[in-house]
A and B are shown apart, each in its own frame.
Chain A
Amino acid sequence: DSGVTQTPKHLITATGQRVTLRCSPRSGDLSVYWYQQSLDQGLQFLIQYYNGEERAKGNILERFSAQQFPDLHSELNLSSLELGDSALYFCASSAGEGVDEQYFGPGTRLTVT
Protein backbone atom coordinates (compact mmCIF):
# COMPACT_ATOMS: atom_id res chain seq x y z
CA ASP A 1 0.00 0.00 0.00
CA SER A 2 1.54 3.28 -1.19
CA GLY A 3 -0.57 5.49 1.08
CA VAL A 4 -2.16 7.26 -1.91
CA THR A 5 -5.91 6.74 -2.17
CA GLN A 6 -8.15 7.20 -5.18
CA THR A 7 -11.91 7.06 -5.61
CA PRO A 8 -13.86 5.65 -7.28
CA LYS A 9 -12.13 2.43 -8.38
CA HIS A 10 -14.33 2.04 -11.40
CA LEU A 11 -16.46 4.49 -13.33
CA ILE A 12 -18.72 3.78 -16.29
CA THR A 13 -20.31 6.69 -18.08
CA ALA A 14 -21.61 7.76 -21.48
CA THR A 15 -20.06 9.95 -24.13
CA GLY A 16 -20.57 13.65 -23.56
CA GLN A 17 -20.79 13.30 -19.80
CA ARG A 18 -18.56 14.82 -17.09
CA VAL A 19 -16.88 12.95 -14.23
CA THR A 20 -14.69 13.80 -11.25
CA LEU A 21 -11.89 11.61 -9.96
CA ARG A 22 -10.55 12.11 -6.46
CA CYS A 23 -7.10 11.57 -4.98
CA SER A 24 -5.69 11.87 -1.46
CA PRO A 25 -1.87 12.00 -1.34
CA ARG A 26 0.37 10.31 1.21
CA SER A 27 0.49 12.05 4.54
CA GLY A 28 2.93 14.96 4.34
CA ASP A 29 3.30 14.95 0.55
CA LEU A 30 2.78 18.33 -1.08
CA SER A 31 2.94 17.40 -4.79
CA VAL A 32 0.17 15.58 -6.62
CA TYR A 33 0.45 14.29 -10.18
CA TRP A 34 -2.17 12.88 -12.51
CA TYR A 35 -1.34 10.29 -15.17
CA GLN A 36 -3.40 8.52 -17.83
CA GLN A 37 -2.61 4.95 -18.86
CA SER A 38 -4.05 3.48 -22.04
CA LEU A 39 -3.03 0.36 -23.94
CA ASP A 40 -1.65 2.24 -26.94
CA GLN A 41 -0.11 5.30 -25.26
CA GLY A 42 1.24 3.88 -22.06
CA LEU A 43 1.53 6.06 -18.95
CA GLN A 44 1.30 9.77 -19.78
CA PHE A 45 1.77 12.70 -17.44
CA LEU A 46 -1.22 15.04 -17.38
CA ILE A 47 -0.72 17.69 -14.70
CA GLN A 48 1.07 18.47 -11.43
CA TYR A 49 -0.01 20.48 -8.40
CA TYR A 50 2.27 21.59 -5.60
CA ASN A 51 0.83 22.83 -2.32
CA GLY A 52 -2.39 23.98 -3.96
CA GLU A 53 -0.88 25.62 -7.03
CA GLU A 54 -0.65 24.30 -10.57
CA ARG A 55 3.01 23.45 -11.19
CA ALA A 56 3.17 21.99 -14.68
CA LYS A 57 1.06 20.62 -17.48
CA GLY A 58 1.83 17.62 -19.62
CA ASN A 59 -0.37 16.07 -22.29
CA ILE A 60 -3.62 17.24 -20.76
CA LEU A 61 -6.60 17.95 -23.03
CA GLU A 62 -8.49 21.23 -22.70
CA ARG A 63 -11.58 19.20 -21.74
CA PHE A 64 -9.72 18.05 -18.63
CA SER A 65 -8.96 20.16 -15.57
CA ALA A 66 -7.72 19.60 -12.06
CA GLN A 67 -7.34 21.33 -8.74
CA GLN A 68 -5.69 20.77 -5.39
CA PHE A 69 -7.54 21.81 -2.26
CA PRO A 70 -6.19 23.29 1.00
CA ASP A 71 -6.21 19.84 2.63
CA LEU A 72 -4.00 18.76 -0.35
CA HIS A 73 -6.44 16.30 -1.87
CA SER A 74 -6.87 16.70 -5.61
CA GLU A 75 -9.64 16.24 -8.13
CA LEU A 76 -9.39 15.60 -11.86
CA ASN A 77 -12.39 16.72 -13.87
CA LEU A 78 -13.03 15.17 -17.26
CA SER A 79 -15.77 16.69 -19.42
CA SER A 80 -17.38 16.10 -22.83
CA LEU A 81 -16.14 12.55 -22.56
CA GLU A 82 -15.25 10.58 -25.67
CA LEU A 83 -14.75 6.86 -26.19
CA GLY A 84 -11.01 7.46 -26.43
CA ASP A 85 -10.92 8.79 -22.88
CA SER A 86 -11.46 5.28 -21.56
CA ALA A 87 -8.31 4.49 -19.59
CA LEU A 88 -6.79 4.00 -16.17
CA TYR A 89 -6.20 7.29 -14.39
CA PHE A 90 -3.53 7.33 -11.71
CA CYS A 91 -2.70 9.86 -9.09
CA ALA A 92 0.79 9.99 -7.61
CA SER A 93 2.30 12.05 -4.83
CA SER A 94 5.76 13.07 -3.76
CA ALA A 95 7.21 14.95 -0.82
CA GLY A 96 7.96 18.11 -2.75
CA GLU A 97 9.51 19.55 -5.84
CA GLY A 98 12.58 18.17 -7.45
CA VAL A 99 14.01 14.74 -7.89
CA ASP A 100 12.15 12.51 -5.52
CA GLU A 101 10.19 9.37 -6.04
CA GLN A 102 6.50 9.48 -6.86
CA TYR A 103 4.17 7.03 -5.17
CA PHE A 104 1.15 5.92 -7.17
CA GLY A 105 -2.38 5.22 -6.07
CA PRO A 106 -4.42 2.19 -7.16
CA GLY A 107 -6.04 4.09 -10.03
CA THR A 108 -9.54 4.75 -11.34
CA ARG A 109 -10.66 2.74 -14.35
CA LEU A 110 -12.85 4.91 -16.55
CA THR A 111 -15.02 3.32 -19.21
CA VAL A 112 -16.86 5.61 -21.62
CA THR A 113 -19.65 3.91 -23.57
Chain B
Amino acid sequence: EDQVTQSPEALRLQEGESSSLNCSYTVSGLRGLFWYRQDPGKGPEFLFTLYSAGEEKEKERLKATLTKKESFLHITAPKPEDSATYLCAVQAWGGGADGLTFGKGTHLIIQP
Protein backbone atom coordinates (compact mmCIF):
# COMPACT_ATOMS: atom_id res chain seq x y z
CA GLU B 1 0.00 0.00 0.00
CA ASP B 2 1.32 3.43 -0.96
CA GLN B 3 2.03 5.73 1.98
CA VAL B 4 2.95 9.39 2.30
CA THR B 5 4.10 10.98 5.55
CA GLN B 6 4.62 14.69 5.89
CA SER B 7 6.52 16.52 8.61
CA PRO B 8 6.22 18.64 10.54
CA GLU B 9 2.43 18.71 10.93
CA ALA B 10 2.59 22.43 11.63
CA LEU B 11 5.30 25.07 11.28
CA ARG B 12 5.33 28.67 12.36
CA LEU B 13 8.00 30.95 10.88
CA GLN B 14 8.82 34.60 10.94
CA GLU B 15 8.64 36.47 7.64
CA GLY B 16 11.96 35.98 5.85
CA GLU B 17 12.90 32.85 7.86
CA SER B 18 13.67 30.07 5.37
CA SER B 19 12.81 26.42 6.10
CA SER B 20 12.01 23.06 4.53
CA LEU B 21 9.00 20.75 4.60
CA ASN B 22 9.52 17.00 4.35
CA CYS B 23 7.54 14.35 2.48
CA SER B 24 8.54 10.70 2.95
CA TYR B 25 6.93 8.16 0.70
CA THR B 26 6.62 4.42 0.23
CA VAL B 27 5.39 3.34 -3.17
CA SER B 28 5.82 0.22 -5.27
CA GLY B 29 6.94 2.22 -8.27
CA LEU B 30 6.89 6.01 -8.40
CA ARG B 31 5.23 7.54 -11.46
CA GLY B 32 5.22 11.05 -10.06
CA LEU B 33 5.36 13.08 -6.86
CA PHE B 34 3.17 16.16 -6.60
CA TRP B 35 3.12 19.22 -4.35
CA TYR B 36 -0.05 21.20 -3.80
CA ARG B 37 -0.94 24.25 -1.75
CA GLN B 38 -4.34 24.41 -0.05
CA ASP B 39 -5.92 27.46 1.55
CA PRO B 40 -8.70 26.94 4.14
CA GLY B 41 -11.97 25.83 2.54
CA LYS B 42 -10.47 25.86 -0.96
CA GLY B 43 -9.38 23.18 -3.41
CA PRO B 44 -5.71 22.18 -3.62
CA GLU B 45 -3.67 24.31 -6.01
CA PHE B 46 -1.06 22.50 -8.11
CA LEU B 47 2.55 23.56 -7.53
CA PHE B 48 5.03 20.96 -8.87
CA THR B 49 5.43 17.50 -10.35
CA LEU B 50 8.69 15.58 -9.85
CA TYR B 51 9.38 12.35 -11.71
CA SER B 52 12.81 11.04 -10.79
CA ALA B 53 15.42 11.22 -8.04
CA GLY B 54 17.66 14.25 -8.36
CA GLU B 55 15.03 16.37 -10.06
CA GLU B 56 14.42 19.92 -8.79
CA LYS B 57 11.77 22.51 -9.67
CA GLU B 58 11.38 26.12 -8.60
CA LYS B 59 8.61 28.66 -8.51
CA GLU B 60 9.09 32.05 -6.89
CA ARG B 61 10.12 31.36 -3.26
CA LEU B 62 9.47 27.60 -3.48
CA LYS B 63 11.82 24.85 -4.57
CA ALA B 64 10.95 21.16 -4.62
CA THR B 65 13.51 18.35 -4.66
CA LEU B 66 13.19 14.57 -4.89
CA THR B 67 15.23 11.60 -3.68
CA LYS B 68 14.37 7.91 -3.84
CA LYS B 69 12.59 8.03 -0.48
CA GLU B 70 11.57 11.61 0.16
CA SER B 71 10.88 15.04 -1.22
CA PHE B 72 11.55 18.44 0.26
CA LEU B 73 9.76 21.71 -0.30
CA HIS B 74 12.18 24.52 0.48
CA ILE B 75 10.70 27.93 1.22
CA THR B 76 13.12 30.83 0.91
CA ALA B 77 12.43 34.18 2.62
CA PRO B 78 8.70 33.43 3.00
CA LYS B 79 6.02 36.09 3.13
CA PRO B 80 2.71 36.02 5.04
CA GLU B 81 0.87 35.15 1.82
CA ASP B 82 2.79 31.85 1.74
CA SER B 83 0.74 30.73 4.76
CA ALA B 84 -1.26 27.64 3.76
CA THR B 85 -1.33 23.87 4.08
CA TYR B 86 1.16 22.19 1.76
CA LEU B 87 0.21 18.74 0.54
CA CYS B 88 2.44 16.08 -0.96
CA ALA B 89 1.02 13.26 -3.08
CA VAL B 90 2.33 10.28 -5.04
CA GLN B 91 1.11 8.46 -8.10
CA ALA B 92 2.22 4.88 -8.55
CA TRP B 93 2.71 2.54 -11.48
CA GLY B 94 0.44 -0.45 -11.76
CA GLY B 95 -3.07 -1.12 -10.58
CA GLY B 96 -4.63 0.90 -13.37
CA ALA B 97 -5.32 3.88 -11.12
CA ASP B 98 -4.15 7.42 -11.69
CA GLY B 99 -5.52 8.55 -8.34
CA LEU B 100 -3.15 10.34 -6.00
CA THR B 101 -2.22 9.19 -2.50
CA PHE B 102 -1.91 12.26 -0.29
CA GLY B 103 -0.10 12.96 2.94
CA LYS B 104 -1.93 14.83 5.67
CA GLY B 105 -0.08 18.05 4.95
CA THR B 106 2.06 20.63 6.71
CA HIS B 107 0.18 23.66 8.03
CA LEU B 108 2.53 26.61 7.50
CA ILE B 109 2.06 29.97 9.19
CA ILE B 110 4.27 32.92 8.30
CA GLN B 111 4.13 35.70 10.83
CA PRO B 112 4.87 39.30 9.72
A residues near B (Cβ < 8 Å) are 2, 4, 31, 33, 35, 42-48, 55-58, 88, 90, 92, 94, 97-107, 109
Q: How far is the CA of A46 from the CA of B97 in the complex (A)?
A: 11
Name A101's contact: one of B34, B97, B99, B102 (CB within 8 Å). Answer: B34
Query: Which label, helix, strand, loop or mixed, suits the secondary structure of the A interface?
Result: strand
Give the size of the chain B interface in residues (CB under 8 angstroms): 26
Name B100's contact: one of A2, A55, A102 (CB within 8 Å). Answer: A102
Residues in B with CB closer than 8 Å to A107 are 41-43
Contact call A106/B42, Cβ cutoff below 8 A: yes
7 A-B pairs within 8 Å (CB atoms) are namely A42-B102, A43-B100, A43-B102, A44-B102, A98-B31, A101-B49, A104-B43
Q: Is B44 on the interface with A (CB-CB < 8 A)?
A: yes
